[in-house]
Homo-oligomer: A and B are copies of this chain.
Amino acid sequence: MRKPVISVAACSYSHVLEIVANKWTSLVIYAMEDGTIRYGEMMRRIEGISQKMLTQTLKKLERDGLVHRNVIPAVPPIVEYSLTPLGESLLPSMRMLKEWAKNHYAEVEESREAYDSREQLPASVEG
């Protein structure tokens, strides 16, 4: 009954993280949770994101089948983004993580501060 090796390849778990686990992806998905939204509107909604990262993230999500891209031929062009059913199926998990964050992030920050203040002590100084 030896415990199996945990490999990146074997563990489908890390594959999701591969999808969601970066600074912007989750925020981008989150911006679409209420429905269709345009490119420029997302830029404004997601504070601090660059146009490059937004485009890149949306492309990745479109490739993964989580996001639908709808181009409306017009001048100026209109491009709408929305979650696919697959993308929406990911929302509950993300909301659960978000709940955890809301409930426990304070503890994490406390822990960090405690840890960091401990780190400062050289050996016996700090008088």
In contact, A13 and B26 (Cβ under 8 angstroms):
yes
Q: Say whether A94 faces chain B, with CB atoms less than 8 Å apart.
A: yes
| Closest beta carbon of chain B to A114's beta carbon, Å | 8
In contact, A11 and B34 (Cβ under 8 angstroms):
no
Alpha-carbon distance A86/B26, docked complex (angstroms): 22
Given known A94-B13, A96-B93, contact A111–B65 (CB-CB < 8 A): yes
Alpha-carbon distance A6/B32, docked complex (angstroms): 11
Q: From A11, which residue of chain B is reached at the shortest CB distance?
A: B27
Which bracket fits the contact residues of A?
A: 35 or more
> Chain B residues near A17 (CB, 8 Å)?
20-23, 26, 97
In contact, B45 and A98 (Cβ under 8 angstroms):
no
| Closest beta carbon of chain B to A64's beta carbon, Å | 5
Q: Say whether A110 faces chain B, with CB atoms less than 8 Å apart.
A: yes
